[in-house]
Amino acid sequence: MPRGPTTKETDKRTCSRNHSICRYFPGDTVSDVISLSEASEIVIGGCSSLAPIKVDCRLMSGRVVAQDVVATEFVPPFANTAVDGFAVRAQDVDKPGVELEVLGVIGAGHVAEYQIGAGQSARIMTGAPMPRGADAVVMIEDATVLSASRVRCNKAAKIGDAVREIGEDVRAGDVVFRAGEVINSAGIGVLAGINAREVSSYPKLRVAMLSTGDELVIDGSTLRPGQIRESNLTMLAAMIEATGCEVINLGIIDDDETKLEAVLRDVAARCDAIVTSGGVGQGDFDVVKIVLSRIAEMKWMQMAIKPAKPFAFGKLKTGDQRVVPIFGLPGNPVSSMISFELLARPALRKMMGHTVDLRRPTVRAIVDAPMKRKQDGKIHFMRVFGKFGEDGRLHVRDTGPQGSHQLAATAQANGLAIVPDGQGLGVGAEVEVMLLGQ
């Protein structure tokens, strides 16, 4: 990927903000319009997983296993009872009404010192180890206690009744998780149960994010003429965290080349990826674009989609020779959200070791209200709300205005309808929908 032009190679022009430092970058720093699949190859294909590390099993929720996890212990480690009842020899209780001697009581965590012989039993609590000689348990509901030392079994027993055998869940030597699998909360329990205190996994990504813009207000102060409240970084921080990453929010950076370059180089030394908001369009004159083109290998793309046509991707080499991916998102909030979902999120997941399901799942849905659009050579991503109908199919309708600046309608959406180029879709048509949410 070619490095952006140096300061001497740029064409100085005055931008809409009258910044004399802003320059236009001609030539191969801006691509022709490309398809989303081509952009995906550049962005997702340009990222690699980080080197595996050892991770405490308690912190593995949602993380990817980097190396097969092999059990070194049996689960359960001993035969135990699944119910409260009486441990017996099945051959002694071959019919209802058999009376047995009760030798004692065995609680969970305690081991009986005696052996169950002919005509004998032991009161036993759920999870307690089976005493020697016993091979079945009569449930407390199926027994009548005659005295502290005598019980009547009201149901016949057979070998193995209500007994959890050693290794019934996991056996030593079993591969309990294979490389590439994602651990959920139950998986953490399995890891703890086999004493896998540390697991080879991938680091939690540290993602730095920033924006520039004199018009943006990040605090609660009263807006002056021409100002708007910052929303992109707040939204993106939540999206990045939901992806499983740690956010380093640098906020709004002054439009100063020297300061911005210093900030970028500093944060690159302590993060794994950088996300910027705004200044990636073909006609933008933005200090972020200037600095990134100078210090990183950048690709400025125009995609045949709407919204989120512009996107930038690049790599910044750090002093310790690491390569930090940079994802440049458009400034309009809806465009920013959609481009993150389509390109940045899958790339970040790949960096965290995911090899499957990089993208959100898609389903075929039925259109319940017309989805109007103009033919423009682009795929449109319309914000929709979907719910299952009586026919068992997902039915969708748009959530309101579809402008790239209109975020309120997006907040009501649980999916993105992928509407192909053309005049739109009528009621009853089928449409592919990308499902949003956790």
CA angle 280-214-327, nearest 5°?
25
Confidence of residue 407 (pLDDT cuts 50, 70, 90): confident
**CA atoms of 85 and 136, how far apart (whole Å):** 10
String of DSSP letters for 161-223: TTEE-TTSSB-TT-EEE-TTPBP-HHHHHHHHHTT--EEEE-PPPEEEEEEE-TTEE-SSPPP
CA angle 391-393-396, nearest 5°?
120
Contacts of residue 69, Cβ cutoff 8 Å, sequence gap at least 6: 175, 176, 177, 191, 194, 196, 199
* CATH architecture, domain 7-51+203-351: 3-Layer(aba) Sandwich (3.40)
Distance, C-alpha 165 to centroid of its chain: 36
Tokens 């004692």 correspond to what residue?
104
Given this model, what pLDDT does residue 20 score?
A: 30
pLDDT tens for residues 38-70?
Answer: 999 999 999 999 999 999 999 999 999 999 999
Alpha helix segments (H runs only) across 247-364? 257-268, 287-295, 333-339, 345-351
**CA atoms of 145 and 59, how far apart (whole Å):** 47
Mean pLDDT, residues 292-301 taken together: 95
Tokens 């579809």 correspond to what residue?
402
Query: Which of the 8 DSSP states describes residue 63?
Result: P
**Percent of the chain at pLDDT above 90?**
77
Given this model, what pLDDT does residue 282 score?
A: 62
CB 273 within 8 A of CB 348: yes
> Where are the domains positioned within the chain?
7-51+203-351, 53-75+168-201, 80-164, 362-435
**CA atoms of 92 and 120, how far apart (whole Å):** 8
Strands 415-419 and 430-435: antiparallel
The CATH number that domain 53-75+168-201 falls under is: 3.90.105.10
Grouping H, G, I as helix, E, B as strand and the rest as coil, residue 127 is coil
Confidence of residue 313 (pLDDT cuts 50, 70, 90): very high
Domain spanning 80-164: which superfamily?
Answer: Molybdopterin biosynthesis moea protein, domain 3. (2.170.190.11)
**CA atoms of 228 and 215, how far apart (whole Å):** 6
Given this model, what pLDDT does residue 288 score?
A: 85
What per-residue string of b and e applies to 114-131 under the rule 16 or more CB within 10 Å gives b?
A: eebeeebbbbbbbebbbb
CATH label, 362-435, candidates 2.60.120.10, 2.40.50.140, 3.30.70.260, 2.40.340.10: 2.40.340.10
- Lowest-confidence segment of 159-168, 173-182, 223-232 by average pLDDT: 223-232
Of 127, 79, 133, 75, give the one whose Cα is nearest residue 106. 127
- The answer on pLDDT for 26 being more than 50 is no
Distance, C-alpha 40 to centroid of its chain: 19
**CA atoms of 244 and 64, how far apart (whole Å):** 11
